[in-house]
């Protein structure tokens, strides 16, 4: 089993989007017995909440149902559980590097390393912006999800 955890700040916008999109891709490729997907936030403000309604609406228009997801905070124990811990931006990555136990042997890095958009190394936080921000999150995540799956697939067999 390969286990993937997406991490942002609140776990209500970017990482649930990555969770829902990558989960759907894994299911479509019939790899759900081999790859598990989850998401979490570095912050604790939204624990137990559904994703932001703007995130849910934007994702729904592209065929992804994020409404069943609930926010949780990332913990040290996640590094024992997951093989890939993928941060949405550099602040998330710095927080995760501080939390990471010394014995972690998996991959901790930026999610967009698996994308090919050279103008975006980070998934910008859409929380305080307009609708364009949510569409950009979807565009960046859909593209990098394909790259991540190709990367993991090479290592599955």
Rounded-to-integer distance, Cα 61 and Cα 152, Å: 27
CB of 107 to ligand 4NP, least distance (A): 21
Residues that bind ligand 4NP (CB under 6 A): 8-14, 41, 45, 125, 127
The one catalytic residue in 38, 78, 89, 125 is: 125
Contact residues for 136 (Cβ-Cβ < 8 A; gap 6+): 124, 126
Residue 19 falls in the annotated catalytic set: no
Residue 14 falls in the annotated catalytic set: yes
Do residues 90 and 109 lie in contact, with contact meaning Cβ atoms separated by under 8 Å?
Answer: no
CB of 12 to ligand 4NP, least distance (A): 4
Output 34 or 109, the one with its CB closest to ligand 4NP: 109
The four Cα atoms 130, 132, 136, 137 give a dihedral, to 10 degrees, of 30
Rounded-to-integer distance, Cα 83 and Cα 1, Å: 9
Tell me which residue has tokens 């993928």: 86
Output 104 or 127, the one with its CB closest to ligand 4NP: 127
Do residues 141 and 126 lie in contact, with contact meaning Cβ atoms separated by under 8 Å?
Answer: no
CB of 152 to ligand 4NP, least distance (A): 23
Output 41 or 115, the one with its CB closest to ligand 4NP: 41
Residue nearest to ligand 4NP (CB): 10
Say which DSSP state 73 is in: B
Residue 8 falls in the annotated catalytic set: yes
109: left (phi over 0), alpha (psi -120 to 50) or beta: beta
The one catalytic residue in 8, 19, 38, 52 is: 8
The one catalytic residue in 13, 14, 19, 38 is: 14
Output 70 or 153, the one with its CB closest to ligand 4NP: 70
Point out the residues that are catalytic: 8, 14, 125
């Amino acid at each position: 089993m390969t286990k993937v955890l997406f991490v942002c700040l609140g776990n209500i916008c970017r990482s649930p989007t990555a969770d829902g999109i990558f989960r759907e891709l894994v299911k479509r490729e019939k790899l759900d017995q081999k790859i598990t997907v989850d998401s979490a936030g570095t912050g604790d403000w939204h624990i137990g909440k559904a994703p932001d309604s703007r995130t849910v609406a934007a994702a729904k228009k592209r065929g992804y149902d994020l409404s069943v997801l609930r926010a949780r905070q990332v913990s040290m124990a996640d590094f024992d559980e997951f093989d890939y811990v993928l941060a949405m931006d550099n602040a998330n990555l710095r927080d995760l590097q501080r939390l990471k136990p010394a014995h972690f042997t998996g991959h901790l890095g930026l999610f967009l390393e698996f994308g090919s958009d050279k103008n975006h190394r980070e998934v910008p936080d859409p929380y305080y912006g307009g609708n364009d921000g949510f569409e950009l999150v979807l565009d960046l995540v859909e593209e990098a999800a394909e790259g991540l799956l190709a990367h993991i697939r090479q290592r599955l067999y």
